[in-house]
Protein backbone atom coordinates (compact mmCIF):
# COMPACT_ATOMS: atom_id res chain seq x y z
CA UNK A 1 0.00 0.00 0.00
CA UNK A 2 1.80 3.10 -1.26
CA UNK A 3 0.94 6.37 0.46
CA UNK A 4 2.33 9.81 0.68
CA UNK A 5 2.26 12.62 3.20
CA UNK A 6 -0.07 15.49 2.37
CA UNK A 7 0.20 18.87 4.08
CA UNK A 8 -2.56 19.52 6.59
CA UNK A 9 -3.09 23.03 5.24
CA UNK A 10 -3.47 22.13 1.58
CA UNK A 11 -7.29 22.19 1.45
CA UNK A 12 -9.28 25.12 0.08
CA UNK A 13 -11.79 24.37 2.87
CA UNK A 14 -9.13 24.66 5.55
CA UNK A 15 -11.24 26.74 7.92
CA UNK A 16 -14.18 24.38 7.56
CA UNK A 17 -11.91 21.42 8.37
CA UNK A 18 -10.36 23.29 11.28
CA UNK A 19 -13.75 24.03 12.85
CA UNK A 20 -14.76 20.41 12.38
CA UNK A 21 -11.59 19.13 14.09
CA UNK A 22 -11.93 21.62 16.94
CA UNK A 23 -15.54 20.61 17.49
CA UNK A 24 -14.59 16.93 17.49
CA UNK A 25 -11.76 17.38 19.98
CA UNK A 26 -13.88 19.58 22.22
CA UNK A 27 -16.60 16.94 22.44
CA UNK A 28 -14.04 14.18 23.01
CA UNK A 29 -12.16 16.08 25.73
CA UNK A 30 -15.29 17.13 27.62
CA UNK A 31 -16.72 13.62 27.44
CA UNK A 32 -13.53 11.87 28.59
CA UNK A 33 -12.65 14.45 31.28
CA UNK A 34 -16.10 14.39 32.83
CA UNK A 35 -16.14 10.59 32.65
CA UNK A 36 -12.88 10.45 34.62
CA UNK A 37 -14.11 13.12 37.03
CA UNK A 38 -17.35 11.25 37.67
CA UNK A 39 -15.48 7.97 38.12
CA UNK A 40 -13.14 9.58 40.67
CA UNK A 41 -15.96 11.54 42.30
CA UNK A 42 -14.11 14.86 42.03
CA UNK A 43 -13.94 17.73 39.53
CA UNK A 44 -10.81 19.29 41.07
CA UNK A 45 -8.41 17.84 38.48
CA UNK A 46 -10.64 18.55 35.45
CA UNK A 47 -8.45 21.48 34.31
CA UNK A 48 -5.38 19.30 34.81
CA UNK A 49 -6.74 16.67 32.44
CA UNK A 50 -7.73 19.29 29.83
CA UNK A 51 -4.24 20.86 29.86
CA UNK A 52 -2.67 17.48 29.12
CA UNK A 53 -4.68 17.17 25.90
CA UNK A 54 -2.21 19.52 24.18
CA UNK A 55 0.39 16.74 24.35
CA UNK A 56 -2.16 14.06 23.41
CA UNK A 57 -3.41 15.99 20.36
CA UNK A 58 0.19 16.67 19.29
CA UNK A 59 0.88 12.94 19.44
CA UNK A 60 -2.30 12.17 17.47
CA UNK A 61 -1.50 14.43 14.52
CA UNK A 62 2.20 13.61 14.53
CA UNK A 63 1.38 9.93 14.20
CA UNK A 64 -1.40 10.40 11.59
CA UNK A 65 0.30 13.05 9.45
CA UNK A 66 4.00 12.24 9.74
CA UNK A 67 4.80 8.82 11.21
CA UNK A 68 2.21 6.72 9.35
CA UNK A 69 2.88 8.23 5.89
CA UNK A 70 6.63 7.72 6.40
CA UNK A 71 6.19 4.16 7.65
CA UNK A 72 3.79 3.23 4.83
CA UNK A 73 5.74 4.94 2.05
CA UNK A 74 7.52 1.67 1.25
CA UNK A 75 5.26 -1.37 1.74
CA UNK A 76 8.20 -3.76 1.98
CA UNK A 77 9.62 -1.85 5.00
CA UNK A 78 6.44 -1.17 6.97
CA UNK A 79 6.88 -4.36 9.08
CA UNK A 80 9.89 -2.85 10.90
CA UNK A 81 9.23 0.87 10.41
CA UNK A 82 5.87 0.93 12.22
CA UNK A 83 7.15 -0.74 15.45
CA UNK A 84 10.36 1.33 15.43
CA UNK A 85 8.63 4.65 14.83
CA UNK A 86 5.92 3.80 17.39
CA UNK A 87 8.52 3.00 20.06
CA UNK A 88 10.27 6.31 19.32
CA UNK A 89 6.91 8.12 19.56
CA UNK A 90 6.15 6.55 22.95
CA UNK A 91 9.58 7.50 24.29
CA UNK A 92 9.15 11.05 23.03
CA UNK A 93 5.63 11.19 24.49
CA UNK A 94 6.87 10.11 27.93
CA UNK A 95 9.59 12.75 27.90
CA UNK A 96 7.17 15.44 26.71
CA UNK A 97 4.54 14.42 29.27
CA UNK A 98 7.08 14.52 32.09
CA UNK A 99 8.21 17.99 31.03
CA UNK A 100 4.64 19.26 30.56
CA UNK A 101 3.63 17.96 34.01
CA UNK A 102 6.40 20.02 35.59
CA UNK A 103 5.44 23.05 33.50
CA UNK A 104 1.79 22.75 34.55
CA UNK A 105 2.86 22.37 38.18
CA UNK A 106 4.93 25.55 37.92
CA UNK A 107 2.13 27.58 36.33
CA UNK A 108 -0.75 26.08 38.29
CA UNK A 109 0.76 24.83 41.62
CA UNK A 110 -2.68 24.55 43.20
CA UNK A 111 -3.70 21.87 40.64
CA UNK A 112 -0.75 19.53 41.09
CA UNK A 113 -1.18 17.11 43.97
CA UNK A 114 1.98 15.38 45.08
CA UNK A 115 5.44 15.11 43.60
CA UNK A 116 5.97 14.21 39.94
CA UNK A 117 8.15 11.10 39.81
CA UNK A 118 9.35 9.27 36.71
CA UNK A 119 8.62 5.82 38.08
CA UNK A 120 6.98 2.63 36.82
CA UNK A 121 3.49 3.95 37.46
CA UNK A 122 4.26 7.08 35.43
CA UNK A 123 5.81 5.00 32.62
CA UNK A 124 2.99 2.45 32.41
CA UNK A 125 0.37 5.15 32.53
CA UNK A 126 2.17 7.13 29.82
CA UNK A 127 2.58 4.06 27.62
CA UNK A 128 -1.12 3.19 27.92
CA UNK A 129 -2.12 6.80 27.15
CA UNK A 130 0.23 7.10 24.16
CA UNK A 131 -0.82 3.74 22.70
CA UNK A 132 -4.45 4.79 23.08
CA UNK A 133 -3.94 7.95 21.01
CA UNK A 134 -1.62 6.18 18.56
CA UNK A 135 -4.39 3.66 17.86
CA UNK A 136 -6.90 6.48 17.38
CA UNK A 137 -4.48 8.24 15.00
CA UNK A 138 -3.88 5.02 13.05
CA UNK A 139 -7.62 4.56 12.63
CA UNK A 140 -7.92 8.17 11.48
CA UNK A 141 -5.07 7.67 9.00
CA UNK A 142 -6.56 4.50 7.48
CA UNK A 143 -10.01 6.11 7.30
CA UNK A 144 -8.54 9.09 5.39
CA UNK A 145 -6.62 6.69 3.16
CA UNK A 146 -9.78 4.68 2.44
CA UNK A 147 -11.76 7.82 1.59
CA UNK A 148 -8.97 9.09 -0.66
CA UNK A 149 -8.68 5.77 -2.50
CA UNK A 150 -12.46 5.54 -2.82
CA UNK A 151 -12.56 9.03 -4.35
CA UNK A 152 -9.76 8.05 -6.75
CA UNK A 153 -11.63 4.90 -7.73
CA UNK A 154 -14.85 6.83 -8.32
CA UNK A 155 -12.98 9.42 -10.37
CA UNK A 156 -11.30 6.73 -12.49
CA UNK A 157 -14.63 4.98 -12.94
CA UNK A 158 -16.22 8.27 -14.00
CA UNK A 159 -13.41 8.94 -16.49
CA UNK A 160 -13.67 5.39 -17.81
CA UNK A 161 -17.40 5.84 -18.28
CA UNK A 162 -16.86 9.15 -20.08
CA UNK A 163 -14.23 7.56 -22.32
CA UNK A 164 -16.60 4.69 -23.10
CA UNK A 165 -19.30 7.18 -24.09
CA UNK A 166 -16.78 9.13 -26.20
CA UNK A 167 -15.56 5.94 -27.87
CA UNK A 168 -19.16 4.99 -28.64
CA UNK A 169 -19.82 8.42 -30.14
CA UNK A 170 -16.64 8.20 -32.21
CA UNK A 171 -17.65 4.74 -33.42
CA UNK A 172 -21.03 6.12 -34.50
CA UNK A 173 -19.30 9.00 -36.30
CA UNK A 174 -16.88 6.54 -37.93
CA UNK A 175 -19.74 4.37 -39.16
CA UNK A 176 -21.52 7.45 -40.50
CA UNK A 177 -18.32 8.50 -42.27
CA UNK A 178 -17.91 5.02 -43.73
CA UNK A 179 -21.48 5.05 -44.99
CA UNK A 180 -20.97 8.50 -46.48
CA UNK A 181 -17.76 7.32 -48.12
CA UNK A 182 -19.54 4.32 -49.64
CA UNK A 183 -22.27 6.58 -50.98
CA UNK A 184 -19.61 8.91 -52.35
CA UNK A 185 -17.99 5.96 -54.13
CA UNK A 186 -21.30 4.83 -55.63
CA UNK A 187 -22.41 8.23 -56.89
CA UNK A 188 -19.20 9.09 -58.85
CA UNK A 189 -19.17 5.57 -60.30
CA UNK A 190 -22.68 6.14 -61.66
CA UNK A 191 -21.71 9.62 -62.85
CA UNK A 192 -18.61 8.46 -64.76
CA UNK A 193 -20.54 5.63 -66.37
CA UNK A 194 -23.13 8.15 -67.50
CA UNK A 195 -20.44 10.49 -68.86
CA UNK A 196 -18.87 7.56 -70.75
CA UNK A 197 -22.26 6.70 -72.23
CA UNK A 198 -22.84 10.30 -73.37
CA UNK A 199 -19.30 10.48 -74.78
CA UNK A 200 -19.84 7.30 -76.83
CA UNK A 201 -22.98 8.81 -78.32
CA UNK A 202 -21.68 12.26 -79.25
CA UNK A 203 -17.92 12.14 -79.81
CA UNK A 204 -18.35 11.27 -83.53
CA UNK A 205 -21.11 13.78 -84.28
CA UNK A 206 -19.78 16.54 -82.02
CA UNK A 207 -16.01 16.10 -81.42
CA UNK A 208 -15.75 19.31 -79.34
CA UNK A 209 -18.47 18.21 -76.93
CA UNK A 210 -16.95 14.72 -76.75
CA UNK A 211 -13.53 16.13 -75.97
CA UNK A 212 -15.06 18.39 -73.32
CA UNK A 213 -16.66 15.41 -71.62
CA UNK A 214 -13.42 13.43 -71.73
CA UNK A 215 -11.40 16.29 -70.22
CA UNK A 216 -14.04 16.95 -67.60
CA UNK A 217 -14.07 13.27 -66.63
CA UNK A 218 -10.29 13.24 -66.21
CA UNK A 219 -10.38 16.33 -63.98
CA UNK A 220 -13.18 14.92 -61.86
CA UNK A 221 -11.49 11.55 -61.42
CA UNK A 222 -8.28 13.28 -60.34
CA UNK A 223 -10.12 15.58 -57.93
CA UNK A 224 -11.94 12.66 -56.30
CA UNK A 225 -8.82 10.51 -56.13
CA UNK A 226 -6.76 13.36 -54.65
CA UNK A 227 -9.47 14.32 -52.18
CA UNK A 228 -9.49 10.78 -50.75
CA UNK A 229 -5.70 10.74 -50.34
CA UNK A 230 -4.36 12.79 -47.39
CA UNK A 231 -0.76 12.82 -48.57
CA UNK A 232 1.22 14.58 -51.30
CA UNK A 233 1.05 14.54 -55.10
CA UNK A 234 3.71 15.27 -57.67
CA UNK A 235 3.50 18.79 -59.05
CA UNK A 236 3.80 17.30 -62.55
CA UNK A 237 0.56 15.36 -61.98
CA UNK A 238 -1.24 18.52 -60.93
CA UNK A 239 0.17 20.38 -63.93
CA UNK A 240 -1.23 17.68 -66.22
CA UNK A 241 -4.70 18.35 -64.80
CA UNK A 242 -4.18 22.10 -65.21
CA UNK A 243 -3.46 21.56 -68.92
CA UNK A 244 -6.71 19.58 -69.20
CA UNK A 245 -8.46 22.47 -67.48
CA UNK A 246 -6.91 24.94 -69.93
CA UNK A 247 -8.14 22.84 -72.84
CA UNK A 248 -11.63 22.87 -71.36
CA UNK A 249 -11.45 26.63 -70.96
CA UNK A 250 -10.30 27.12 -74.54
CA UNK A 251 -13.14 24.95 -75.84
CA UNK A 252 -15.62 27.05 -73.85
CA UNK A 253 -14.10 30.23 -75.27
CA UNK A 254 -14.88 28.99 -78.80
CA UNK A 255 -11.75 30.29 -80.45
CA UNK A 256 -11.17 33.42 -78.36
CA UNK A 257 -7.67 34.14 -77.12
CA UNK A 258 -6.71 32.53 -73.80
CA UNK A 259 -3.68 34.44 -72.52
CA UNK A 260 -2.14 32.09 -69.96
CA UNK A 261 1.46 31.15 -69.29
CA UNK A 262 2.56 28.11 -67.32
CA UNK A 263 6.18 28.12 -66.09
CA UNK A 264 7.62 25.33 -63.96
CA UNK A 265 11.22 24.30 -63.46
CA UNK A 266 12.17 20.64 -63.71
CA UNK A 267 12.91 20.47 -59.99
CA UNK A 268 9.51 22.00 -59.24
CA UNK A 269 7.71 19.43 -61.42
CA UNK A 270 9.45 16.62 -59.54
CA UNK A 271 8.58 18.13 -56.15
CA UNK A 272 5.59 17.00 -54.10
CA UNK A 273 2.84 19.23 -52.82
CA UNK A 274 -0.63 18.91 -51.30
CA UNK A 275 -3.13 18.16 -54.11
CA UNK A 276 -5.73 20.47 -55.71
CA UNK A 277 -4.09 23.71 -54.56
CA UNK A 278 -2.65 24.55 -57.98
CA UNK A 279 -5.95 23.61 -59.65
CA UNK A 280 -7.81 25.91 -57.27
CA UNK A 281 -5.43 28.77 -58.09
CA UNK A 282 -6.03 28.33 -61.82
CA UNK A 283 -9.79 28.08 -61.34
CA UNK A 284 -9.60 31.31 -59.33
CA UNK A 285 -7.83 32.96 -62.28
CA UNK A 286 -10.55 31.73 -64.68
CA UNK A 287 -13.27 32.99 -62.35
CA UNK A 288 -11.90 36.44 -61.50
CA UNK A 289 -9.22 37.15 -64.10
CA UNK A 290 -9.09 38.65 -67.56
CA UNK A 291 -7.39 36.21 -69.96
CA UNK A 292 -8.17 38.03 -73.19
CA UNK A 293 -5.13 40.35 -73.28
CA UNK A 294 -2.28 38.50 -74.98
CA UNK A 295 0.16 41.26 -73.95
CA UNK A 296 -0.64 40.71 -70.28
CA UNK A 297 -1.20 36.98 -69.96
CA UNK A 298 -2.13 35.31 -66.71
CA UNK A 299 0.81 33.48 -65.17
CA UNK A 300 1.39 30.43 -63.02
CA UNK A 301 5.04 30.12 -62.02
CA UNK A 302 6.45 27.29 -59.89
CA UNK A 303 10.07 26.94 -58.79
CA UNK A 304 12.13 25.59 -55.90
CA UNK A 305 15.29 26.08 -53.97
CA UNK A 306 16.98 23.51 -51.76
CA UNK A 307 14.23 23.46 -49.13
CA UNK A 308 11.13 25.28 -50.37
CA UNK A 309 8.58 25.36 -53.15
CA UNK A 310 7.56 28.77 -54.50
CA UNK A 311 4.27 29.34 -56.30
CA UNK A 312 3.10 32.58 -57.85
CA UNK A 313 0.06 33.51 -59.90
CA UNK A 314 -0.60 36.82 -61.61
CA UNK A 315 -3.56 37.89 -63.70
CA UNK A 316 -5.38 40.98 -64.91
CA UNK A 317 -8.40 41.78 -62.79
CA UNK A 318 -11.61 41.29 -64.75
CA UNK A 319 -13.40 44.53 -63.97
CA UNK A 320 -16.49 43.33 -65.82
CA UNK A 321 -17.21 40.66 -63.19
CA UNK A 322 -19.35 41.25 -60.14
CA UNK A 323 -16.73 40.04 -57.67
CA UNK A 324 -18.17 39.76 -54.19
CA UNK A 325 -14.66 39.67 -52.73
CA UNK A 326 -15.20 36.47 -50.74
CA UNK A 327 -12.26 34.60 -52.34
CA UNK A 328 -13.51 31.32 -50.89
CA UNK A 329 -11.01 29.34 -52.95
CA UNK A 330 -8.10 31.32 -51.53
CA UNK A 331 -9.42 30.94 -47.99
CA UNK A 332 -9.61 27.18 -48.49
CA UNK A 333 -6.03 27.13 -49.78
CA UNK A 334 -4.83 29.09 -46.76
CA UNK A 335 -6.58 26.69 -44.41
CA UNK A 336 -5.15 23.61 -46.15
CA UNK A 337 -1.65 25.05 -46.03
CA UNK A 338 -2.01 25.73 -42.31
CA UNK A 339 -3.31 22.22 -41.62
CA UNK A 340 -0.55 20.55 -43.66
CA UNK A 341 2.47 22.75 -42.97
CA UNK A 342 1.53 24.77 -39.90
CA UNK A 343 3.64 27.88 -39.48
CA UNK A 344 6.20 26.65 -42.01
CA UNK A 345 4.16 27.88 -45.00
CA UNK A 346 3.25 31.40 -46.06
CA UNK A 347 0.58 32.75 -48.38
CA UNK A 348 -0.19 36.28 -49.45
CA UNK A 349 -2.47 37.80 -52.07
CA UNK A 350 -2.84 41.42 -53.09
CA UNK A 351 -3.66 43.74 -55.98
CA UNK A 352 -0.88 45.72 -57.63
CA UNK A 353 -2.23 48.14 -60.21
CA UNK A 354 -4.50 46.10 -62.47
CA UNK A 355 -2.81 42.81 -61.51
CA UNK A 356 -4.00 40.36 -58.86
CA UNK A 357 -1.07 38.41 -57.37
CA UNK A 358 -0.91 35.33 -55.16
CA UNK A 359 2.34 34.06 -53.63
CA UNK A 360 2.79 30.80 -51.74
CA UNK A 361 5.91 29.45 -50.04
CA UNK A 362 5.91 25.93 -48.58
CA UNK A 363 8.56 23.43 -47.44
CA UNK A 364 9.32 20.59 -49.83
CA UNK A 365 8.28 18.08 -47.15
CA UNK A 366 5.53 18.22 -44.55
CA UNK A 367 7.27 18.92 -41.19
CA UNK A 368 7.31 15.88 -38.93
CA UNK A 369 6.18 13.48 -41.65
CA UNK A 370 8.46 10.85 -43.17
CA UNK A 371 8.66 11.03 -46.92
CA UNK A 372 7.19 7.78 -48.17
CA UNK A 373 6.63 7.42 -51.93
CA UNK A 374 3.91 4.86 -51.30
CA UNK A 375 1.78 7.58 -49.71
CA UNK A 376 1.94 9.91 -52.68
CA UNK A 377 -0.13 9.90 -55.86
CA UNK A 378 1.78 8.79 -58.94
CA UNK A 379 1.23 9.05 -62.64
23 membership: H or E segment, kind and range: helix 14-40
In this structure, the answer to whether residues 141 and 209 fall within a common structural domain is no
Q: Please check whether residue 377 lies inside any domain of the structure.
A: no
Distance from chain centroid for Cα 83:
46
Contacts of 172 (CB under 8 A, 6+ apart): none
Q: Which domain holds residue 82?
A: 14-165
Query: Which residue, of 165, 194, 212, is where some domain finishes?
Result: 165
Q: Please check whether residue 5 lies inside any domain of the structure.
A: no
Q: Please check whether residue 235 lies inside any domain of the structure.
A: yes
In this structure, the answer to whether residues 145 and 269 fall within a common structural domain is no
Rounded distance between C-alpha atoms, residue 74 and residue 81, angstroms: 9
Reported residue count of the chain is 379
In contact, 366 and 340? CB cutoff 8 Å: yes
Residue 235 has pLDDT above 60, yes or no: yes
Question: Parallel, antiparallel, or unpaired: how do β-strands 298-304 and 260-264 relate?
Answer: parallel
**Once rounded to an integer, what is the mean pLDDT over residues 140-154?**
88
Q: Please check whether residue 241 lies inside any domain of the structure.
A: yes
Instruction: Look at 29 and 5; give whichever has higher pLDDT.
Output: 29
In this structure, the answer to whether residues 214 and 143 fall within a common structural domain is no
Q: Supply the CATH number for residue 334's domain.
A: 3.30.565.10
In this structure, the answer to whether residues 49 and 120 fall within a common structural domain is yes
In this structure, the answer to whether residues 317 and 245 fall within a common structural domain is yes
Instruction: Look at 206 and 299; give whichever has higher pLDDT.
Output: 299
Phi and psi at 320, nearest 5°, equal -80, -10
In this structure, the answer to whether residues 121 and 221 fall within a common structural domain is no
In contact, 73 and 9? CB cutoff 8 Å: no
Residue 296: closest CA among 323, 266, 318:
318
Query: Which residue, of 114, 137, 165, is where some domain finishes?
Result: 165
**pLDDT (tens digit per residue) in 323-374:** 555 567 888 888 888 888 888 999 999 999 899 999 999 998 766 555 443 4
Predicted TM-score (pTM) above 0.95 = no
Please give the tally of structural domains in the chain: 2
In contact, 216 and 195? CB cutoff 8 Å: yes
**171-173-174-179 Cα dihedral, nearest 10 degrees:** 130
Q: Please check whether residue 194 lies inside any domain of the structure.
A: no
In this structure, the answer to whether residues 156 and 303 fall within a common structural domain is no
Q: Please check whether residue 193 lies inside any domain of the structure.
A: no
In this structure, the answer to whether residues 213 and 318 fall within a common structural domain is yes
In this structure, the answer to whether residues 251 and 139 fall within a common structural domain is no
**Once rounded to an integer, what is the mean pLDDT over residues 148-155?**
89
Q: Please check whether residue 4 lies inside any domain of the structure.
A: no
Amino acid sequence: MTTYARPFFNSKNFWHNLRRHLAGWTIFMVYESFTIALASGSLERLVYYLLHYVVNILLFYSHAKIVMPLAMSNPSQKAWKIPLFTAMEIAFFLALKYGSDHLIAMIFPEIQKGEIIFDERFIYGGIWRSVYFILLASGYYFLKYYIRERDKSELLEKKSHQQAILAKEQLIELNNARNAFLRAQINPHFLFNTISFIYSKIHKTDPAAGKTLALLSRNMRYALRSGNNPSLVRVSEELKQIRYLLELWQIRQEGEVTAFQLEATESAENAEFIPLVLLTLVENIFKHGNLSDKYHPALLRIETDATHLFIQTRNLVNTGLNDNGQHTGLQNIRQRLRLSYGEHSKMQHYTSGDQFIVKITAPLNIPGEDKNPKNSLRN
